[in-house]
Amino acid sequence: MRLRHRRALVLIAVTTLASTAAAPVQASPRPPTPEKVPVATGYGGAVATVDLDATKVGLEVLRKGGNAVDAAVAAAATLGVTEPFSAGIGGGGFFVYYSARDRRVYTIDGREAAPMTMGETAFVDPATGLPYAFQEARVSGIAAGVPGTLATWEKALRKWGTTDLGDALRPAAKVADRGFTVDSTFRTQISDNAAAFGQFSSTSELYLPGGLPPEAGTVFRNPDLAATYRLIAKQGTGVFYRGAVARDIVDTVQHPPVADVPVGTWAYPIRPGTMALSDLARYQVRTPSPTRVSYRGYDVYGMPTPSSGGQSVGEALNILEQTDLSALTRTGALHQYLEASALAFADRNRFVGDHTPRPLLEQLLSDGFAKERACLINPAQALVKPVAPGEPDGAYGGCAAGAPSPAVTEGQSTTNLTVADRWGNVVEYTLTIEQTGGNGMVVPGRGFLLNNEMTDFNFTPTQGSAADPNLPGPGKRPRSSMAPTIVLADGRPFLAVGTPGGSTIITTVLQILVNRLDLGMTLPEAVAAARATQRNTAAVLGEAEFAPEIPGLAALGHTFAASPEIGAATGIEFLSHGRFLAAAEPVRRGGGSAGVVWPVAGS
């Protein structure tokens, strides 16, 4: 099987050389491409992603009459090419959809699932009884969960799309074949992963040709991924979950493709995993009801478990609604935001996991519970962190809290896209392979990285004598912080927003909503504004641009530590008279790309 793949790669490379005189996979400089535009206003539909190619693909689908779901899947498949260290068919995600036809919000849970052989001690070294170091766990077969991204795309298209998966994959396959221009972010992500990538022959051949990352400004091609997309387009997702691709995934997990001569050194053994063909064949997406809270007259919909995004964003909004933020000073409003975030994270860590009962989730999102939590906030003094979780028991009225529980965070790398069409349908979609570069293993001959999503489980119990909701288990899905969010006003779309960033996703989405709904910012201003994240930790992490806010907050007892970058959001707002405002990051992660089908002059 792998020999045939290598021959296929050689043939594709030879054909490419003959037609373009470029070196295999990546090489030659390309003429300058249009720069990313972070803000666009206009008609006919809108797309916002972190990548120009993905946004262009999504807009082209809309121009040809496709709907938001068609465009979202095509754009996501393209991000699997151009943002391969953050997302792709080796990973999973959460898809939130507003249907203009029935004015309802739906979700698809495409989170990766644990193999049926995975137990609670999967990340504990049997030789020592201690948990593995994170990087030892991450760069291993143990870390890879059964991917859910392809199943998500297929489900979304069958339920709400107007095209099929094959058509949705073709634009991305073209991008993978013809290549795209390497930017500094792409090169840096490879450089940062060079030690891990260099341990595997398949990964180093693709991303470290000659032992070095491709130079910025050169063209990167991935013919193996193009061929994989076309194979799936022809044979359907069965080839991925039960056929030839499934066999290659399992072989990679069980027998990692360790290079005979690695590029660089790695401090840990490369441990195999136990994923089996039956695990892939068993995988199914879920379609749970979204979370919903009412906030200052808006209906805010998000993702339920195994994501904690809907719970944490929703609970924090319920807490914040107890105070009129617009009547406070900016320092006072930010203080409330940080305290509400810490309280919501305390409850997330204690109660939220794959098997959280829905009635418990609804209690966490109840107004009564929020009032009980909000009464702990002192406008003049920050709470000592970590704060204790509350008691979502249905009997509310005091300020009682239990014993503090430690903070739990997760990897930073994910990607997000937002799409709306001329009929008023909306997609907010966050997808990931967890850590930047996933588990470091490209499936040989297939061109995509596997995820390390299983490391989102807690390696050992974190809740003292209480049950930990996020320990590994057979078939279980690890807790996520992905928070794709759709906001309705009078039953119709007003705003959709999402972001990557691990557990900072929750605070980034929350801060954007507060900026837009409470503090008078436009959506582009809300996305661009300096960020700080409080996840029930001793220190608030703040970007450099947040520095002017620190003295006032420090006077209230908040402590700070630096973070180079928090999130990389995208969003779309529905304006009057059928106009769309699409917004992406102006700077973070190299800047995002926003576009509309028919731009308004000057946008």
For residue range 370-413, what is the model confidence (pLDDT) as tens digits? Answer: 999 999 999 999 999 999 999 999 999 877 655 555 555 444 46
Q: Six-digit token pair at 511?
A: 């801060």
Q: Six-digit token pair at 424?
A: 């008023």
Q: What are residue 24's phi and psi, to 5 degrees?
A: -60, 145
CB-neighbour burial class of residue 578 (10 A; exposed 0-12, middle 13-18, buried 19+): exposed
pLDDT in tens, 433-489: 999 999 999 999 999 999 999 999 999 998 888 899 999 999 999 999 999 999 999
Distance separating alpha carbons of residues 423 and 44, to the nearest angstrom: 8
Q: What is the residue-wise DSSP string for 532-558?
A: EE-SSSSSEEE-GGGGGGHHHHHTTT-
Instruction: Give 39's strand partners.
Output: 583
Does 59 score more than 50 pLDDT?
A: yes
Does 203 score more than 90 pLDDT?
A: yes
Q: Please report which confidence band the pLDDT of residue 14 belongs to, taking 50, 70 and 90 as the band edges.
A: very low
User: Do residues 427 and 418 touch, judged by C-beta distance below 8 A?
Assistant: yes
Q: What are residue 284's phi and psi, to 5 degrees?
A: -140, 145
Average pLDDT over residues 324-336: 97
Q: Six-digit token pair at 7?
A: 């021959």
CB-neighbour burial class of residue 64 (10 A; exposed 0-12, middle 13-18, buried 19+): exposed
Least confident of 31-45, 189-203, 334-348: 31-45
pLDDT in tens, 34-45: 578 999 999 999
**Is 356 one of the catalytic residues?**
no
What's residue 31's pLDDT?
A: 39
With CA atoms as reference, report the closest residue to 88 among 446, 457, 364, 419. Answer: 446
Q: Six-digit token pair at 430?
A: 């966050």
Print burial letters for 516-541: b (CB count within 10 Å at least 16), e (below 16).
bbbbebebbebbbbebbbbbbbeebb
- Among all chains, which residue has been given the structure tokens 């630096």? 562
User: Do residues 570 and 594 touch, judged by C-beta distance below 8 A?
Assistant: yes
CA 110 vs. chain centroid, Å, equals 12
Report yes or no on whether pTM surpasses 0.85.
yes
Least confident of 13-27, 291-305, 398-412, 587-601: 13-27
3-state secondary structure 559-583: CEEECCCCCCCEEEEECHHHCEEEE
What's residue 406's pLDDT?
A: 57
CB-neighbour burial class of residue 408 (10 A; exposed 0-12, middle 13-18, buried 19+): buried
Does 260 score more than 60 pLDDT?
A: yes
Percentage with pLDDT > 70 across the chain? 92
Does 183 score more than 90 pLDDT?
A: yes
Tally Cβ neighbours within 10 Å of residue 29. Answer: 11
Parallel, antiparallel or unpaired: strands 570-574 and 580-584: antiparallel
Residues whose CB falls within 8 Å of the CB of residue 378, separated by 6 or more in sequence, listed in order:
none
User: Do residues 413 and 480 touch, judged by C-beta distance below 8 A?
Assistant: no
Mean model confidence pLDDT for the chain: 92
What's residue 36's pLDDT?
A: 85
**Which residue type sits at 266?**
W
CA 172 vs. chain centroid, Å, equals 19
With CA atoms as reference, report the closest residue to 470 among 302, 279, 306. Answer: 306
Distance separating alpha carbons of residues 148 and 145, to the nearest angstrom: 9
Dihedral of the alpha carbons of 124, 127, 128, 133, in degrees to the nearest 10: -50
Q: Tell me the CA distances in angstroms from 171 to 111, 179, 217, 259, one per residue in order.
A: 25, 12, 22, 32
**Which residue type sits at 14?**
V
Catalytic option among 185, 203, 237, 414: 414
Q: Please report which confidence band the pLDDT of residue 11 belongs to, taking 50, 70 and 90 as the band edges.
A: very low
- Among all chains, which residue has been given the structure tokens 């436009």? 522
Tally Cβ neighbours within 10 Å of residue 65. Answer: 11
CB-neighbour burial class of residue 191 (10 A; exposed 0-12, middle 13-18, buried 19+): middle
Q: Six-digit token pair at 301?
A: 């919909």
Tally Cβ neighbours within 10 Å of residue 49. Answer: 33
What's residue 402's pLDDT?
A: 54
With CA atoms as reference, report the closest residue to 154 among 167, 164, 140, 143. Answer: 164
Distance separating alpha carbons of residues 300 and 486, to the nearest angstrom: 6
Q: Six-digit token pair at 379?
A: 């406008």
